[in-house]
Amino acid sequence: MRYPARPVPAHRHRGNPASWPRRLAVTAALAIAGAAVLVTGIATPAFAGSLVSPGWAVSQTGPGTLGVNYTYTFTTASTSELDSVTMTVPAGTGGSPAVGTVTPAGLADGGTVSLSGDTLTYSFTPGTVEAGTRVSIEITGLANTTTAGSYTSDITTVDAGSPVDSGTTPAASFSSGLVSSGWAVSRAVPGATGADYTYTFSTTSTSELDSVTMTVPAGTGGSPAVGTVTPAAVAAGGSVSLSGGTLTYSFTPGTVDAGTRVSIEITGLANTTAAGSYTSDITTVDAGSPVDSGTTPAVSFPGGLAATCDNATSPPNCSTSVTATVVGGALGVTAPPSQSWSTTLNGTDQALVDTADASFTVQDVTGSGGGWTVTATATQFTGAGADGNTLPATGTMVYAGSGTDETSGATPGAACAPASACVVPTTTGLTLPAPVTQNGTTLVNLYDAEANTGMGTILIGAVSGGAPAAWWVNVPAGAMADTYSSVITLAISTGPVGT
C-alpha cells in the first residue's frame, strides 16, 4: 500500500487491524525551487499548473455523519494572483459549511466558504501567492454523503474565475462498518448455563439509534437480561430479547456520535450444546433500518469436556475440566500517511525535517510475546523532470528522534493508540540518528520491542509518548531545482534488534 506525499504536516485511518499487511510503503516527495534570476527574488516553480501533493483529510468517515471537518492541503506550483480555491466533494454532501483553520495567513484573510452541488468554494481577499506555498484549508460543519465508497477530491486554485493550478487528492474511504467489534463469553463451555455475553464496538456513523442486534450460535437459550452497558446514552431504558439466533438490545432512542465506544453485557444465557468456533454479527439499528455493522472475531466453544462427580461427599460435588483458547492474531505495521519537504535553493546546504506526519503504527496481537523490529528501506530521490536529476543516495536522508536536532540520539516515544490498551515497548539495541542509504535494499532499524513488550496497537513517535519520529532530508547547495520522489518501505519482523 502506498500513501501519496504532501509537503507539510497534517494529520489519522482506520481499518480492520487483523487484515493489516506486514509491509507498507509511503511515498516521500521533496520539492526544491531554484532561483532562475537572483535579482528577481522569485523562485522558479517545480512545474506549473499541477498542485504538488494535494491531500484531503476527513475527521469522521461514517456515511451520513453530521458535523464533519474536511481539511484540504496542497502546495502551489505557480506564482499568481488568487482569490479562491474550489474542492469537489462526494455527491450528496451537505451541512452548513464554515471556515476552520486556514494557513498561510494571507489566504485566511476574508475567508468564506459556500457549497453548490458537489463543489466547495473557499474565497478570500485577492492577493499574490508564490509558487511553493504550502496551503491548508479546513472546512467545518459538513454532512457526509450517505453512500459508502472511496472518493477523491479535485482541487483548483482560481484567479478571477480562471483556474491556475489543479490536482486530485488520494481517495478517502467512507465506510459503514463498525470498528473493533468484539464478543467475550464468561463461560465458553457447550451447554453451560448462566453465561454472560459482552459485545463491544465503536460506531462509524453519527446517527439516531434505538437498538443493537447481535447474532448468537444456533441453540443458544436461557433467560437473557441486561447487565452493564456503556455509555449512558445507550444504557437508558435498556431491555433485551432473544429470537432464534439473534439477541436484540433495545434502548431509549437518541443520537450516538461516530467514534463512540459501546459495551453491552447480556446475562443469563445458556450456551449452544454444539462445540465449535462462532463469530457474531453486530448491527446498530434506527427505527428498523441498519446503520453500522461488523463481525467479531470467533469465540471457541471447545468440546470433549466431562464432569467428574463425587456423590459420597456432603454436599455432593462435581468437577469439570475446562479449557480457554486464545487465538493469536497478526503482526503488522502501517507507514506514516505522508512525508514531504519543500525548500528554495539559497546557495547553502539545507537540512529539512517533517515530524507531524512521521509517526507510524505497530500492532502486535500475536500473543507470542516475542517482541519485534521495524525496519525501513528507501529508494533514491529522483527528479520528476526529464533531466534525470537525483539527490545523493548517501547522506541525504536521516531518521532521528528530534525535530530540531538532526544529530540527536533521542529515541522516538511510544504510546498506546487512542481507545486501546497496550504494553508500551521497551527498546534494545536501537542506535539513533540512523542514516538511510537510499538504494532500496539497505535496512535501517526504526524501532524495536523487547520480549513481552510492545503488545497491542502502538503509535511510534507519538508526542504524548516522548520524542517525535523525524525524517531529515539534507539538500546540497548545488542541487538541481526539481520535484524529487523516494519510496520509503516499512517492514516488521518478530524479535528485537540483535536476536
Q: Which three cell numbers stand for residue 435?
A: 542514516
382/30 Cα distance (integer angstroms): 9
Q: Tell me, what's the pLDDT at 42?
A: 32
Which fold does the domain 189-300 belong to in CATH? Immunoglobulin-like (2.60.40)
Q: Tell me, what's the pLDDT at 155?
A: 97
Q: 316 falls in which pLDDT band (50, 70, 90)?
A: low
Mean per-residue pLDDT for 442-450?
93
Q: Tell me, what's the pLDDT at 50?
A: 92
Give per-residue pLDDT as tens, 296-310: 999 888 754 444 445
Given a cut of 80, whether residue 21 has pLDDT beyond it is no
User: What are the domain boundaries of the chain?
Assistant: 1-42+325-499, 62-174, 189-300
- Cβ within 8 Å of residue 379, ≥6 positions away: 438, 439, 440, 486, 487
Q: 334 falls in which pLDDT band (50, 70, 90)?
A: confident
387/484 Cα distance (integer angstroms): 12
Mean per-residue pLDDT for 75-93?
95
Q: Tell me, what's the pLDDT at 303?
A: 58
> DSSP labels for 249-311?
EEEEEEEE-TT-EEEEEEEEEE--SS-EEE--EEEEEETTEEEEEEEPPPEEE-----EEEET
Q: Tell me, what's the pLDDT at 209?
A: 94
**Topology alike, domains 1-42+325-499 and 189-300:** yes
pTM tops 0.95: no
- Which CATH class name applies to 1-42+325-499? mainly beta
Given a cut of 80, whether residue 312 has pLDDT beyond it is no
Q: Tell me, what's the pLDDT at 10?
A: 33
As a residue count, the chain comes to 499
Q: What angle do CA 274, 278, 281 make, to 5 degrees?
A: 135
Asked if residue 282 lies in contact with residue 199, where contact means CB atoms within 8 angstroms, the answer is: yes
Q: 86 falls in which pLDDT band (50, 70, 90)?
A: very high
Mean per-residue pLDDT for 282-296?
89
Domain 62-174 has CATH 1.10.3470: no
Give per-residue pLDDT as tens, 245-283: 999 999 999 999 888 899 999 999 999 988 889 999 999
Asked if residue 462 lies in contact with residue 414, where contact means CB atoms within 8 angstroms, the answer is: yes
**Residue 407 φ/ψ, nearest 5 degrees:** -95, 5
Q: Which three cell numbers stand for residue 316?
A: 455432593
Q: 466 falls in which pLDDT band (50, 70, 90)?
A: confident
Asked if residue 358 lies in contact with residue 15, where contact means CB atoms within 8 angstroms, the answer is: no
Q: Which three cell numbers stand for residue 318?
A: 462435581
Mean pLDDT of the chain: 84
